[in-house]
């Protein structure tokens, strides 16, 4: 049987850590060499993705070349070939992959399509180059592409397949958002089936600032069947044996590729090698793909964990208020970092209810994290005395409400400054969208796990987490949400019900519907106008908000670039 062994190295790179990423490549390559013809790493793995303005440094680009030479030197000791994503500088800078083996750099493929939408900004850094490259090992042709290349139909993959390619290989750094994976898997299945070829898709995994990469690398058969799915939100190294004789049989029975009027042999660059070792045959593994709440929860845990560890923090702190948002963030922090690295601070005022105290205490107990209590009453009284006596303000205003939130933030950042803690913000997307959060108060922090999580999803994620082990008391799900900054306050004094608010926001932010279009969706015109007015007014707050993890199609961050000064 004629087969090709490919090792998929779905690993977690750290941006800028060329030496650390290089060492990971060396380790995996050495271990996989006796098993594989070809070891494949994701897009821009050597630098991490996205390297952004690091690519504007000549020294950084020189360090990449030195690392590639190290890989070439190592390859003298190994029999397999390596494919790795990296920036390649030759007259200009390209998003590229290198083929390395037999002691040298055998070939370079450069990305043809550079994405410049959503979170992507590749045209700022790279030049596109349309130069198809085929790697041939033991007579088996492999057509190479990088991420965006495969999203442009009826060109690269069809071009390869019509010129005898049996395996379409795509390396990728595809950021996660909820719902994207299902579409991507269906899309890639169609690519394989349309071209009667195997499709090997190697994706990055890990967190990088606001982005999370979910892994779930794939091998898809020529009839669109799923042969391999790597783990979700985890590192995974899998070796798969691909039976290319099947391609020959299928193409004898289906002559569609013969009818394509596409460029032929002279249009391509070819790299041809032999590796006649007797290698073991591997059956592929299909790991389950998490759905809905589990998927988002795991993305948040991974994003928080990698931000924490990749930036060298030793511990984290957050304010536990007795509400659902801070309770969920506390659970995320413990799941991501471990209970010994999480500190919880309860900061009651005269407006804090007995229920909130009981709920905060129960959450901390269930998470097995000590709860430190510091009342803000004396600090708040001192502030009020100053503003009454020195500034002349006697009434209780919204400024007094926000003052309480800012006192709490001051205490958290004092401990951050004193102990080196990462302050984790507990504000969610619904609040951030409409400004129902205090700038320099409860929205302040070093990282905001819920920044892209709507309030309705906060409840869903908390229910999911309780299904694993009980953390949140039932009252957190049933009591009216409240900031507890004045007597008898609830969120719905100011906002529409969260089910209404979140859907209006989703339709506007993620689906791009106009105010008129949203009103046609059976929402009251007054509510829509109010929400969108609050959204636009709060832009200056969002520009000063901490970074958070992208889990929706359009997040407040690289996805969202609205001007603060804006009369539209």
The strand ranges marked E within 254-360 are 269-273, 316-319, 342-346
The token pair at 353 is: 């209810």
Q: Name the token pair of 268.
A: 């391509």
Longest C-alpha distance within the chain, in Å?
91
Q: One of 147, 184, 310, 541 is an active-site residue; which one? A: 147
Residue that is written with structure tokens 């106009």 in the block: 514
- CB burial readout 302-331, b (16+ within 10 A) else e: bbbbbbbebeebebbbbbbbbbbbbbbbbb
CA end-to-end span of the chain: 65
111 is catalytic: yes
Tokens coding 466: 């309780």
Q: Which of 111, 429, 455, 550 is catalytic?
A: 111
Give the integer Cα–Cα distance in Å for 486 and 415: 26
Distances (CA, A) of 60 to 17, 19, 56, 66, 257: 10, 12, 8, 10, 43
Catalytic residue among 11, 24, 43, 294: 43
CA dihedral 297, 303, 306, 309 (to 10 degrees): -80
Chain-centroid distance of CA 329 in Å reads 18
Question: DSSP assignment of 292-308, as one string?
Answer: HHHHHHHHHHHHHHHHH
- The verdict on whether 14 is a catalytic residue reads no
The SS3 assignment for 503 reads: helix
Which residues touch 370 (CB under 8 Å, ≥6 apart)? Answer: 343, 344, 364
Residue 144: name the closest of 93, 173, 108, 195 by CA. Answer: 108
- Report the relative pairing of strands 133-137 and 140-146 from DSSP bridges: antiparallel
Decide if 10 contacts 231 (C-beta within 8 A): yes
- Sign of the Cα pseudo-torsion (447, 452, 455, 456, in order): negative
Give the ranges where 108-262 is alpha helix by DSSP (H).
156-161, 180-194, 245-253
**How buried is 478 (Cβ within 10 angstroms: 0-12 exposed, 13-18 middle, 19+ buried)?**
exposed
3 state SS for 117-159: CCCCCHHHCCCCCCCCEEEEECCEEEEEEEHHHHHCCCCHHHH
Please state the φ and ψ torsions of residue 401, each to the nearest 5 degrees. -65, -50
Structure tokens at 356: 């909130």
Closest CA to 180 of 272, 270, 295: 295
Which amino acids are annotated catalytic? 43, 111, 147
């Amino acid at each position: 049987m004629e087969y090709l062994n490919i090792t998929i190295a779905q690993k977690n790179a750290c941006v800028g850590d060329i030496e650390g990423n290089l060492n990971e490549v060396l380790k995996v390559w050495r271990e996989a060499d006796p098993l594989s013809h070809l070891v494949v790493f994701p897009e821009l793995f050597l630098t991490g993705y996205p390297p952004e303005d690091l690519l504007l440094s000549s020294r950084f680009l020189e360090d990449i070349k030195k690392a590639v030479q190290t890989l070439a030197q190592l390859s003298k000791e190994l029999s397999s070939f390596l494919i790795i994503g990296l920036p390649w500088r030759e007259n200009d800078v390209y998003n590229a992959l290198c083929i390395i083996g037999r002691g040298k750099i055998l070939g370079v493929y450069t990305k043809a399509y550079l994405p410049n939408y959503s979170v992507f900004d590749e045209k700022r850094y790279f030049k596109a180059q349309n130069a198809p490259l085929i790697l041939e090992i033991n007579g088996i042709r492999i057509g190479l592409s990088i991420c965006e290349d495969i999203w442009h139909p009826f060109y690269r993959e069809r071009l390869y397949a019509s010129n005898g390619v049996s395996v379409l290989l795509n390396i990728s750094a595809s950021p996660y958002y909820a719902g994207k994976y299902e579409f991507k898997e269906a899309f890639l299945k169609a690519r394989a089936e349309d071209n009667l070829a195997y499709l090997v898709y190697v994706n990055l995994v890990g967190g990088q600032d606001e982005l999370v990469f979910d892994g779930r690398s794939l091998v898809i058969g020529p009839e669109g069947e799923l042969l391999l799915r790597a783990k979700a939100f985890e590192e995974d190294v899998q070796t798969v044996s691909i039976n290319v004789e099947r391609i020959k049989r299928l193409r004898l029975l289906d002559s569609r590729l013969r009818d394509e009027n596409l460029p032929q042999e002279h249009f391509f660059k070819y790299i041809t090698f032999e590796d006649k070792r007797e290698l073991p045959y591997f059956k592929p593994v299909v790991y389950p793909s998490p759905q809905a709440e589990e998927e988002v929860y795991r993305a948040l845990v991974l994003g928080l964990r990698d931000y924490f560890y990749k930036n060298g923090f030793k511990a984290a702190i957050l304010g536990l208020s007795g509400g659902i948002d801070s309770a969920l963030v506390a659970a995320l922090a413990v799941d991501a970092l471990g209970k010994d690295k999480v500190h919880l601070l309860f900061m009651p005022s005269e407006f804090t209810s007995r229920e909130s105290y009981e709920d905060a205490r129960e959450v901390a107990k269930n998470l097995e994290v000590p709860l430190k209590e510091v009342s803000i009453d004396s600090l708040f009284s001192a502030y009020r005395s100053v503003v009454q006596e020195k500034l002349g303000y006697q009434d209780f205003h919204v400024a007094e409400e926000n003052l309480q939130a800012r006192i709490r933030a001051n205490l958290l950042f004092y401990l951050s400054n004193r102990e080196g803690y990462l302050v984790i913000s507990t504000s969610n997307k619904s609040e951030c969208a409409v400004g129902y959060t205090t700038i320099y108060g409860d929205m302040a922090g070093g990282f905001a796990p819920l920044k892209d999580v709507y309030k309705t999803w906060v409840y869903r994620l908390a229910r999911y987490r309780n299904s694993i082990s009980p953390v949140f008391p039932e009252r957190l799900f049933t009591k009216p949400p409240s900031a507890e900054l004045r007597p008898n306050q609830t969120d719905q004094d100011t906002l529409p019900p969260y089910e209404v608010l979140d859907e209006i926001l989703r339709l506007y932010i993620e689906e791009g519907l106009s105010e008129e279009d949203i009103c046609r969706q059976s929402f009251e015109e007054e509510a829509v106008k109010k929400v969108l007015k609050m959204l636009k007014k709060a832009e200056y707050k969002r520009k000063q908000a901490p970074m958070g993890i992208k889990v929706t199609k359009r997040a407040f961050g690289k996805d969202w670039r609205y001007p603060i000064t804006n009369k539209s």
